[in-house]
């Protein structure tokens, strides 16, 4: 791909250093970081702290937000360089699969409906009445239970589990070891112990979602646990029973959502953030790392702490806590002087 073509694809402005007009038609063959990029590479500047490295880079082109006077390469100037970098990387990196056809060592129930184009690796399991759409890949030791439905263009990686009745839309990626549709944590304490509540519901994963390695999404008690379109779950994220996660949300590693919580669009939870049971969370809410939400929050914004407060308030509290030892020391000194005066 030519640099000029890449800039046009990204809807960007192309700036060529004086005297290097030939760069317009230079070939781009890969994407690389600033410090390792060479001839034929496009690099990117998404962290201002790396600006000083640009002058010494050997890349043929750079994606960035504002033009740099001393940059020695073609500059592809975008409003959102991080987004442009993501789109460019998709041009150069495509998922590759090492197997074709259907292995005779996989178990495919005779009643399962599997499109002829589906690739099934050895030791995969597809249960009764399951259906798998066009262009899917099912890796070794993946388990697709009874009455599961998988839409077109999905990838089910090794050891992933889709329990009975799980519904998956189109272009969904389920990474290794993820479990969709395990029983929700439903028990009622009694004098004789904890009585299990049968979990009769299902899980629905809408189009274009990605479920990270070892993530777990519990089936609903009666209806559906729903992860809506475009949502991305990181490794070891847990979604409890009857939860609804809004469109285009992102939950980072080890975040957890307790049962029956309803979450709006474009929700973001940083690592190890926790959301309590039965809450309602509005659109465009962001939880910082290890934040704990114990009450419903419908107002958009960034929240931190346990229990959460607006991020700006939490930062003030964090600064105040650092001052506590000195403050306590001063109070003790004042109390001593008051005692002496009395």
pLDDT tens per residue across span 75-130:
999 999 999 999 999 999 888 899 999 999 999 999 999 999 999 999 999 999 99
pLDDT score of 264 more than 80: yes
Cβ 310 vs Cβ 302: under 8 Å: yes
> Measuring CA to CA, which residue among 143, 77, 58 is closest to residue 106?
143
Does an H or E element contain 122, and which? none
Give me the domains of the chain, ranges plus CATH numbers: 3-92 (3.40.1390.10), 107-311 (2.160.10.10)
Band (pLDDT 50/70/90 cuts) for residue 160 is very high
DSSP lists the bridge partners of residue 180 as: 162, 217
Q: Two tokens at 323? A: 């001052």
Q: Give residues with Cβ within 8 angstroms of 198, minimum separation 6.
A: 186, 221
Structure confidence by residue, pLDDT tens digits, 17-36: 887 777 888 899 999 999 99
d(CA 75, CA 290): 39
Q: Flag whether pLDDT at 56 surpasses 80.
A: yes
**Residue range 138-143: average pLDDT?**
98
Catalytically active residues are 241
Alpha-carbon distance 151 to 125, whole Å? 17
How many CA within 13 A on the CB side of residue 182? 13
Global confidence as pTM: 0.89
């Amino acid at each position: 791909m030519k640099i000029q073509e890449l800039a046009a694809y990204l809807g960007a402005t192309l700036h060529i250093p004086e005297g290097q007009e030939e760069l317009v038609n230079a070939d781009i063959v890969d994407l690389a970081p600033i410090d390792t990029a060479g001839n034929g590479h496009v690099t990117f500047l998404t962290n201002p702290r790396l600006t000083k490295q640009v002058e010494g880079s050997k890349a043929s082109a750079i994606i960035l937000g504002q033009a740099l006077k001393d940059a020695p390469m073609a500059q592809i100037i975008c409003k959102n360089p991080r987004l442009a970098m993501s789109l460019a990387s998709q041009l150069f990196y495509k998922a590759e699969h090492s197997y074709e056809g259907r292995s005779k060592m996989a178990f495919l129930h005779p009643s399962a409906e599997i499109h002829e184009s589906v690739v099934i690796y050895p030791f995969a399991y597809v249960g009764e009445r399951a259906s798998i759409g066009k262009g899917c890949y099912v890796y070794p030791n993946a388990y697709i239970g009874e009455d599961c439905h998988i839409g077109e263009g999905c990838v089910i990686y090794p050891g992933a589990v889709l329990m009975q009745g799980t519904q998956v839309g189109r272009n969904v990626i389920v990474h290794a070891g993820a479990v969709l549709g395990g029983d929700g944590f439903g028990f009622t304490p009694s004098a004789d112990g904890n009585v299990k509540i049968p979990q009769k519901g299902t899980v629905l994963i809408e189009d274009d979602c990605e479920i990270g390695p070892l993530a777990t999404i519990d089936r609903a008690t009666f209806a559906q646990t729903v992860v809506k379109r475009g949502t991305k779950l990181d490794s070891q994220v847990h979604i409890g029973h009857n939860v609804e996660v809004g469109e285009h949300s992102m939950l980072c590693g080890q975040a957890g959502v307790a049962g029956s919580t309803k979450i709006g669009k474009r929700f973001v939870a940083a690592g190890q953030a926790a959301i309590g049971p039965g809450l309602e969370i509005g659109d465009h809410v962001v939880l910082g790392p290890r934040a704990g939400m114990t009450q419903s929050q419908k107002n958009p914004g960034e929240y931190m702490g346990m229990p959460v407060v607006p991020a700006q308030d939490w930062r003030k509290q964090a600064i105040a806590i650092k001052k506590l030892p000195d403050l306590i020391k001063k109070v003790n000194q004042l109390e001593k002087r008051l005692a002496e005066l009395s």
